[in-house]
């Protein structure tokens, strides 16, 4: 099981103080140092989200991680012409297309691929031709996975936010949706990843979902890092994931 470490919150913290002072000598914390700590802790890839409004990660952060961290880089980005142009210059190993605007989002919060097949297909093709494998961040719905297959996306990331944020019967229903979606993706030859709200505490239940090959995890790692450091937090997560057969 691959662990992608999402370091966005490091940029969020930096911007909270230094958004208008990024050229100063004392700016902290550094997303590049976070990526290096994640590498030491055993991360398999680094995930960062460059938003259209650049409110957290800046272009320079992405280029620094790309240049200096010997791990695959997974760029999360909105499916827009401007971000496409950025991704073609950055050339990350992986790209995960995510919704940023209200109208791009399906009911639960994933990218609405099913209603945008014709628009997304050329973007996925252009990114693939540029050397980036593309994933689509979608709700665990068969229609979205079939649309991802129709576009030719080799990977999807199933949105686990609802799974993470519910309990009892709702959690069980969401787990079942994830299982069905993962089976559908696997049957269509698509690599199935999961992300959002994953914590050590919900790994055992997530482990019921078959065919997962990568988990993208951010918030809990950065939260834990406040107390033990990011390297240790990533190592703990790797060990917790390795306790299960995926
Ligand atoms: N995957 C995607 C597509 C995301 O946008 C995020 C961040 O919200 C994550 C994974 C990581 O989620 P979390 O920070 O809740 O672990």
How do residues 3-29 score in pLDDT, each as one tens digit? 999 999 999 999 999 999 998 899 999
Q: Name the β-bridge partners of 156.
A: 136, 192
What size, in residues, is the chain?
A: 246
Say how far apart CA 29 and CA 141 lie, in whole Å. Answer: 38
Mean pLDDT across the chain: 97
Which of 38, 216, 217, 224 to mutate for ligand 1's pocket (most ligand atoms within 8 Å of CB)?
A: 216
Question: Which pLDDT score is estimated for 20?
Answer: 94
Ligand 1 atom showing the smallest separation from residue 216 Cα: 10
Task: Report the pLDDT averaged over residues 121-145.
Answer: 97
| Contact between 78 and 97 (Cβ < 8 Å) | yes
Residue 132 CA from chain centroid, whole number = 14
Q: How confident is the model at residue 207 (pLDDT cuts 50, 70, 90)?
A: very high
Q: Which tokens go with 88?
A: 């073609």
Percent of the chain at pLDDT above 70?
Answer: 100
Question: Where does the pLDDT of residue 108 fall: very low under 50, low under 70, confident under 90, or very high at 90 and above?
Answer: confident
In this predicted structure, what is the pLDDT of residue 107? 75
Percentage of the chain with pLDDT > 90?
96
Average pLDDT over residues 81-96: 98
Cα distances (angstroms) measured from residue 223 to each of 10, 44, 65, 227: 10, 19, 21, 8
Higher pLDDT: 89 or 24? It is: 89
Determine which one of 76, 104, 174, 214 is catalytic. Answer: 76
pLDDT at 178: 98
């Amino acid at each position: 099981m691959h662990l992608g470490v999402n370091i966005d919150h490091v940029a969020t913290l930096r911007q909270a103080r230094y958004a208008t002072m990024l050229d100063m000598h004392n700016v902290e914390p550094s997303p590049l140092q976070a990526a290096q700590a994640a590498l030491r802790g055993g991360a398999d890839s680094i995930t960062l989200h460059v938003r259209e409004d650049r409110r957290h990660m800046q272009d320079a952060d992405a280029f620094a991680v790309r240049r200096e961290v010997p791990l695959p880089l997974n760029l999360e980005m909105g499916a827009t012409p401007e971000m496409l142009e950025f991704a073609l210059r950055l050339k990350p190993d992986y790209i995960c297309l995510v919704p940023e605007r209200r109208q791009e989002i399906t009911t639960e919060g994933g990218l609405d691929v099913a209603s945008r097949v014709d628009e997304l297909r050329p973007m996925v093709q252009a990114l693939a031709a540029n050397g980036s494998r593309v994933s689509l961040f979608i709700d665990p719905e068969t229609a979205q996975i079939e649309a991802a297959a129709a576009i030719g996306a080799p990977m999807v990331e199933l949105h686990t936010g609802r799974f993470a944020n519910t309990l009892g019967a709702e959690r069980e229903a969401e787990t079942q949706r994830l299982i069905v979606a993962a089976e559908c993706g696997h049957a269509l030859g698509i690599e199935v990843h999961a992300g959002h709200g994953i914590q050590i505490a919900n790994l055992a239940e997530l482990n019921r979902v078959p065919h997962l090959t990568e988990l993208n995890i951010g918030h809990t790692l950065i939260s834990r890092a406040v107390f033990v450091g990011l390297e240790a937090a990533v190592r703990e997560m790797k060990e917790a994931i390795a306790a299960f057969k995926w």
